[in-house]
Structure 1
C-alpha cells in the first residue's frame, strides 16, 4: 500500500480498517453467548446453514 498511497495514507487506511491490532483486540469475548444464550459460531457455518434462503 505504501507504494500506491504513500506511507501516511497507508497508515491511515490500516488504522481505519483495523490494522492496529493489539492484545485488547485479540481477546476472546463472551458477548454472543451472554446476549443470545448460545455460543458464537464461525461465519462459514452460518453460510452453510442459511445459503438456501438466498437462492
Structure 2
C-alpha cells in the first residue's frame, strides 16, 4: 500500500514553485539596448569634439 501512496503522491503533487529571480527577457534586452545607445552617443560625442578641436581657425 505504501508504494501505491508514493506513486499517487508523485502524480498528484503540485509542481515546485517557479524561480522568479532575475529580469524578464524583454527587460534585459531593453537595458542592453539603452547601454549600447549610451556607448554610441559617447563615442560620437568624443569624435565630434576631437574633430572640431583639430579644425583650422579662420
TM class, shorter-length:
0.3 to 0.5
Report which of the two has the higher share of helix. Answer: 2
Using structure 1 for the length normalisation, give the TM-score.
0.34
Per the normalisation by structure 2, the TM-score is 0.33
Q: Which has the higher contact order (CA 8 A, sep 6+)?
A: 1
Q: Which has the larger Rg? A: 2
